[in-house]
Amino acid sequence: MSSSTFSESWHRVAALQLRLRRGVKAGRQMFRGERWYVIEDDLAGNYFRVRPEAWEFIARVDAGMTVEAAWKQCIDLFPENAPGQQECVNLLGQLYRANLLHYEAGDAAELFRRQQKRQQSQLRSRLLGIMFLRIPLVDPDRFLVRSMPLVGWLISWAGLALWALIIGWGLKTVAENWAAILHEGRYVVSPANLPLFYLSLVASKLLHEMGHAYFCRKFGGEVHTLGVMMLVFTPVPYVDVTSSWSLRSRRQRMLVGAAGMIVELFIAALCVQLWARTGPGAMHAVCYNIMFITSVSTLLFNLNPLLRFDGYYILTDLLGLPNLAQRAGMHLKHLWKRWVWGLKLSRSPAVKRGEKSWLTIYGITSGIYRVFVFAAVLFFVADQFLLFGILMMVACVIGWVIAPFIRLIRYLASHAELDKNRMRAVVSSLAITGIVVGFLQFFPWPRHIEAEGMVQAAHYTPVTTGASGYIAKVTGQPGAAVKSGDVLFILTNPELLNGIERARGIVQELETRFRVALSSEPVALRPVEKRLTAARENLQELEKEAAALTVTAGQEGIWSFAMHGGMDGMWIPRGTPLGLVVDPSQHEFSGVVLQEDSGYLRADDLSDVEVRIHGQAATAIPVPATALTLEPGSRSYLPSAKLGATAGGSIPVATDDRTGRRAAEPFFPVKAVLAPDVGVKLLHGQLGIIRLRVGSEPLLPRWIRSLQQLLQKRYKVL
At residue 129, the pLDDT reads 52
For residue 582, is pLDDT > 50? yes
Taking the C-alpha atoms of residue 355 and residue 192, their distance in angstroms, rounded to an integer, is 50
> Confidence class of residue 115 from pLDDT cuts 50, 70 and 90?
very low
For residue 161, is pLDDT > 90? yes
> Confidence class of residue 718 from pLDDT cuts 50, 70 and 90?
low
List, for residues 609-653, the tens digit of each pLDDT value: 899 998 888 888 888 878 888 877 788 888 888 888 777 778 888
Residue 103's contacts (CB-CB under 8 Å, 6 or more residues apart) are: 16, 18, 110
For residue 110, is pLDDT > 50? no
For residue 455, is pLDDT > 80? yes
User: pTM here?
Assistant: 0.67
For 86-100, 629-643, 686-700, which range has the lowest pLDDT when averaged over its residues? Answer: 86-100
Mean pLDDT of 269-289: 88
Residue 390's contacts (CB-CB under 8 Å, 6 or more residues apart) are: 382
Beta pairing, strands 557-560 & 577-582: antiparallel
CATH number, domain 449-458+583-697: 2.40.30.170
> Confidence class of residue 603 from pLDDT cuts 50, 70 and 90?
low
Question: Which of 297 and 585 is assigned the larger pLDDT?
Answer: 585
Taking the C-alpha atoms of residue 81 and residue 292, their distance in angstroms, rounded to an integer, is 52
Taking the C-alpha atoms of residue 500 and residue 11, their distance in angstroms, rounded to an integer, is 116
Taking the C-alpha atoms of residue 95 and residue 90, their distance in angstroms, rounded to an integer, is 9
At residue 694, the pLDDT reads 83
The phi, psi pair for 233, rounded to 5°, reads: 65, 20
DSSP for 693-714, please give it: EEEEE-HHHHHHHHHHHHHHHH
For residue 467, is pLDDT > 90? no
Beta pairing, strands 469-474 & 571-572: antiparallel
Tell which CATH classification among 3.80.10, 1.10.3470, 3.90.930, 3.30.2220 matches the domain 10-123: 3.90.930
Taking the C-alpha atoms of residue 163 and residue 176, their distance in angstroms, rounded to an integer, is 20
Q: What whole-number percentage of the chain has pLDDT above 90? A: 12
Mean pLDDT of 668-672: 89
Taking the C-alpha atoms of residue 46 and residue 100, their distance in angstroms, rounded to an integer, is 10
CA-to-CA separations, 667 to 388, 568, 651, in angstroms, rounded: 32, 42, 10
For residue 604, is pLDDT > 80? no
CA-to-CA separations, 38 to 30, 324, 671, in angstroms, rounded: 10, 15, 67
Q: Considering only CA atoms, which of 304, 349, 352 is closest in space to residue 49?
A: 349
> Confidence class of residue 111 from pLDDT cuts 50, 70 and 90?
very low
Mean pLDDT of 407-411: 89
For 53-57, 124-128, 451-455, 642-646, which range has the lowest pLDDT when averaged over its residues? Answer: 124-128
For residue 170, is pLDDT > 60? yes
> Confidence class of residue 24 from pLDDT cuts 50, 70 and 90?
confident
For residue 493, is pLDDT > 70? yes
At residue 432, the pLDDT reads 93
CB atoms within 10 A of CB 68: 16
List, for residues 337-394, the tens digit of each pLDDT value: 889 998 887 888 887 777 888 889 999 998 888 888 778 778 877 776 777 778 878 8
At residue 167, the pLDDT reads 93
Q: Considering only CA atoms, which of 692, 504, 490, 525 is closest in space to residue 594?
A: 692
At residue 90, the pLDDT reads 81
For 119-123, 211-215, 527-531, 579-583, which range has the lowest pLDDT when averaged over its residues? Answer: 119-123
Same fold for the pair 10-123 and 449-458+583-697:
no
List, for residues 318-349, the tens digit of each pLDDT value: 887 777 888 888 899 989 988 999 888 788 88
- Let me know if 428 is exposed, middle or buried by CB neighbors in 10 A (0-12, 13-18, 19+): middle
What SS3 state is found at 470?
strand
- The residues spanned by each domain of the chain are 10-123, 130-319, 338-442, 449-458+583-697, 460-581
List, for residues 222-233, the tens digit of each pLDDT value: 888 888 887 656
For 1-5, 435-439, 529-533, which range has the lowest pLDDT when averaged over its residues? Answer: 1-5
The phi, psi pair for 330, rounded to 5°, reads: -65, -35
Mean pLDDT of 23-47: 71
> Confidence class of residue 2 from pLDDT cuts 50, 70 and 90?
very low
Question: Is the separation of the CB atoms in 574 and 551 below 8 Å?
Answer: no
Mean pLDDT of 466-481: 82
Taking the C-alpha atoms of residue 465 and residue 576, their distance in angstroms, rounded to an integer, is 6
Question: Which of 113 and 261 is assigned the larger pLDDT?
Answer: 261
Number of alpha carbons in the 13 Å side-chain half-sphere of residue 229: 16
Q: What whole-number percentage of the chain has pLDDT above 70? A: 91
509 Ramachandran zone, left/alpha/beta (phi>0; psi -120 to 50): alpha
For residue 562, is pLDDT > 80? no
At residue 109, the pLDDT reads 46
> Confidence class of residue 171 from pLDDT cuts 50, 70 and 90?
very high
Taking the C-alpha atoms of residue 642 and residue 562, their distance in angstroms, rounded to an integer, is 16
Question: Is the separation of the CB atoms in 593 and 482 below 8 Å?
Answer: no
Q: Considering only CA atoms, which of 314, 308, 222 is closest in space to residue 262?
A: 314
Question: Which of 431 and 529 is assigned the larger pLDDT?
Answer: 431
Q: pLDDT averaged over the chain?
A: 82
At residue 713, the pLDDT reads 76
